[in-house]
Amino acid sequence: MTSSNGHTPEGGPLAAATSNVVAWLKDASGGAVQIAPPKISDDGLSVWPLELQTERELRTHRALEPLRLRMRHLVTGNATMLGRALVAATEAGVPAVDLTPLSPETWLALGCAPRIALLFDMPVVIARPTPQVPIVTEELRINLTPKPTSEGDSP
């Protein structure tokens, strides 16, 4: 989620990922979407950032690759709107959908009973600075010094 000039949007890449999920859900579901933990009422959808997961890093002989993450969002709401969001995400391929149920401990930590929910993974890319390596401007100089001899050495 970096802009073309390499700078992150205001609020940072994580806030941008959440904003992208909210905007996408508004278009896909056609209803109200808010950034909030799961709530009891089923009007609209609630999006809650849940966790960050790392993607596999690509190692090359060049500079460090950008840091690649997935930001997982919990999406709750009424079944009709969740169904629209699920169909739209499946057709589009982004955001990635995970249908793994949350653990009872997670629901307890969120302060609500388990319910139907979707997990959306949104990619986050953070560019790493390229190290500035000084350019060689002089020829290579090698200074040879004779090896000192020690007692007991035979030539």
Complete domains list, the chain, with CATH:
13-126 (3.30.2000)
Token code pair at residue 122:
């949104």
pLDDT single digits (tens) 71-103? 999 988 888 888 888 888 888 877 888 888 889
- pLDDT at residue number 126: 84
Please choose, from the candidates 32, 37, 33, the residue with its C-alpha nearest in 3D space to the C-alpha of residue 49. Answer: 37
pLDDT single digits (tens) 133-155? 788 888 888 888 888 777 765 55
Q: Is the dihedral of CA 25, 29, 30, 32 positive or negative?
A: negative
Contact 75, 46 (CB under 8 A): yes
- pLDDT at residue number 119: 92
